[in-house]
């Protein structure tokens, strides 16, 4: 049987795994599903068609699965899917999807959402993502595995953040961030590769050298159009998997353009 504090409210229909733990003054909606080992410490509210994977811990005053902050939302029966072993700290808000964005917000495994972080409607997040305090993602944002955000960074709607990218604190991101990229500034500027992240993740010296060469061809040599430079990088490094990931990201549909380096003298 799950451990449920007597002050918690569990609406009829909620699916609670036998090893889940629900602390004082939590409120669980009728369409919620909590997996094995899920722990809600206290004063957590989970609403809507929300599923939370095993081992996820949610701290006090988090609001999970309530109506999206989208004026076009009309109460459609959309979903929020949260994976396994995530840590969701105090006052985090995560919204479900909408009819205009695929009807689902999805979060992978092993992510950390620090206090006051926000994940907007229809966002798709991978695994091992870190969002520091007070980081908001607007609607329809896509974030790759191992991306990280410094405190008070903010991401515009429909932006993509590539895998292993790092967004510096207090940075506003209005365009796509390349995989393995490091962006910072009041309005995000590409400041190179996320070398610290690459080294921490155990990338080989050869792969890092290939990424450095690709970055130079794409953003420093600046010969030809961006599409021509991407093609040249793909031809130059056909065997380097991280470079292939970078090329695939830049060749995918792109509605907002890419964060670029600051020009000399600009």
Q: Would residue 145 show up in a list of annotated catalytic residues for this protein?
A: no
CB atoms within 10 A of CB 22: 27
Q: What is the CATH number of domain 199-251?
A: 1.20.1180
- Contacts of residues 102-108 at CB distance under 8 Å and 24 or more positions apart, as own/partner, are 103/76, 103/78, 103/79, 104/78, 104/79, 104/80, 105/78, 105/79, 105/80, 105/81, 106/80, 106/81, 107/81, 107/82, 107/83, 108/83, 108/145
pLDDT at 223: 85
**CB contact at 8 A, 20 and 2:** yes
pLDDT class of 264 with cuts at 50, 70, 90: low
Residue 215 has pLDDT above 80, yes or no: yes
Partner residues linked to 258 by β-bridges: 176
Class of domain 3-140: mainly beta
In which element (H, E) is residue 183 found?
A: strand 181-184
**pLDDT, tens digit (0-9, with 9 covering 90-100), for 113-150:** 999 999 999 999 999 999 999 999 999 999 999 999 99
Please say if the pLDDT value at position 265 is more than 70: no
- DSSP three-state, residue 236: helix
- Going by C-beta distance under 8 Å and a sequence separation of 6 or more, which residues neighbour residue 79? 48, 49, 50, 51, 96, 97, 103, 104, 105
**Catalytic hit among 109, 110, 122, 145:** 122
Distance CA(195)–CA(170), nearest Å, equals 20
Annotation says 202 is catalytic: no
| Boundaries of every domain in the chain | 3-140, 199-251
- Locus of tokens 């080989």: 204
Q: What average pLDDT does this structure show over 232-261? A: 96
pTM equals 0.97
For residue 122, indicate whether it is catalytic: yes
Report pLDDT digits (tens) over 22-71. Answer: 999 999 999 999 999 999 999 999 999 999 999 999 999 999 999 999 99
Tell me the per-residue pLDDT of 63-113, one tens digit each, with 9 for 90 and over: 999 999 999 999 999 999 999 999 999 999 999 999 999 999 999 999 999
C-alpha closest to that of 136 among 180, 92, 166? 92
Half-sphere exposure for 220 (CA within 13 Å, toward CB): 10
Question: What is the predicted pLDDT for the residue at 180?
Answer: 98
* Closest-CA residue to 137 (of 150, 125, 155): 155
The structure tokens 């970055």 sit at: 215
Annotated catalytic residue, options 53, 83, 139, 162? 139
pLDDT of residue 65: 98
Cβ count within 10 A of residue 53: 20
Q: Which two tokens stand for residue 12?
A: 């009829």
Residue 159 has pLDDT above 60, yes or no: yes
Q: Which of 121, 128, 140, 164 is catalytic?
A: 121
């Amino acid at each position: 049987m799950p451990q449920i504090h007597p002050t918690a409210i569990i609406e009829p229909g909620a699916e609670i795994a036998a090893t889940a733990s629900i602390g004082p003054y939590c409120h669980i909606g009728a369409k919620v599903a909590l997996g094995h080992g899920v722990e809600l410490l206290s004063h957590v509210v989970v609403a809507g068609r929300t599923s939370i994977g095993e081992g996820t811990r949610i701290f006090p005053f988090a609001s999970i699965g309530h109506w999206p902050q989208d004026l076009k939302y009309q109460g459609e029966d959309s979903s929020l899917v949260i994976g396994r072993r995530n840590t969701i700290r105090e006052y985090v808000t995560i919204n479900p999807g909408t009819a205009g964005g695929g009807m689902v917000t999805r979060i992978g495994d092993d992510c950390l959402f620090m206090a006051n972080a926000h994940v907007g409607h229809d966002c798709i997040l991978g695994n091992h993502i870190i969002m520091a305090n007070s980081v908001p993602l607007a609607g329809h944002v896509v974030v790759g595995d191992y991306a990280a955000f410094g405190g008070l960074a903010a991401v515009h709607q429909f932006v993509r953040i590539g895998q292993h990218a790092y967004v510096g604190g207090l940075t506003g991101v209005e365009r796509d961030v390349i995989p393995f990229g490091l962006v910072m500034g009041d309005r995000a500027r590409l400041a190179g590769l996320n070398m610290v992240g690459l080294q921490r993740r155990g990338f080989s010296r050869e792969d890092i050298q290939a990424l450095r060469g690709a970055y130079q061809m794409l953003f420093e040599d600046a010969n030809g159009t961006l599409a021509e430079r991407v093609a040249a990088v793909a031809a130059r490094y056909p065997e380097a998997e991280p470079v292939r990931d970078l090329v695939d990201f830049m060749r995918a549909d792109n509605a907002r353009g890419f964060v670029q380096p600051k020009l000399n003298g600009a």
